[in-house]
Amino acid sequence: MNKALAAIIFVVTSAPSWAQMTPEGLWRNVDDKTGEAKAEIRIKANGAGVLNGTIEKRLTKDAKPEDVCKECDDDRKDKPLLGLEIIRGAKKAEGKDVWEGGKILDPENGRNYTLRLTPTEGGKKLEVRGSFGPFGRTQTWTRVQ
């Protein structure tokens, strides 16, 4: 009986960590050059399991509520940065804890990059890779609790 109870307790206390190995949730990104927190991005799955992410909170000291995506050249042109969808269409790669196939927008230059999302450290961090052809860069985002 004690072994069964211990197994149940293990499963119940471990389940939240299993659920965290996904990009879904609230993430904080940091400026590569200054180390300053830039924004919090909420990543959600739609009904088909496709991930999209929006800027939920801007953290830079010069952020203004009226700031818009001036550099965007698609349907996001001149839309407010707060609430802007910057991640579109990422899907889980078969057999891996990696989400690919989507795009990520850099609102500072208006460019869309091929996207790869990889949860690390038990889901506490998220490697966000944006690439254009052979060139790319990876940022590490931190989960907001």
Domain ranges of the chain: 22-143
**Which residue, 140, 141, 61, 74, is CA-closest to 107?**
74
Class of domain 22-143: mainly beta
Q: 116-139 in b/e burial notation, b at 16+ Cβ within 10 A?
A: bbbbeeebeebbbbbeeeeeeeeb
For residues 28 and 39, the answer to whether their CB atoms sit within 8 Å is yes
Distance between CA atoms of residues 136 and 130, nearest Å = 6
**Number of Cβ atoms within 10 Å of the Cβ of 29:** 19
Give the separation between CA 4 and CA 6, rounded to whole angstroms. Answer: 5
User: What is the per-residue pLDDT for 54?
Assistant: 98
3 state SS of 6: helix
Whole-number pLDDT of residue 69: 97
Query: Which of 102, 105, 118 is CA-nearest to residue 39?
Result: 105
Please give the helix or strand (H or E) that residue 136 lies within, else none.
strand 135-143
pLDDT tens digits, one per residue of 78-122: 999 999 999 999 999 999 999 999 999 999 999 999 999 999 999
pLDDT at 2 (0 to 100): 53
Q: Which two tokens stand for residue 20?
A: 């965290």
Write the DSSP symbol of residue 93: P
pLDDT for residue 9:
44
Output the pTM of the full model: 0.84
If you count them, how many residues does the chain have? 145
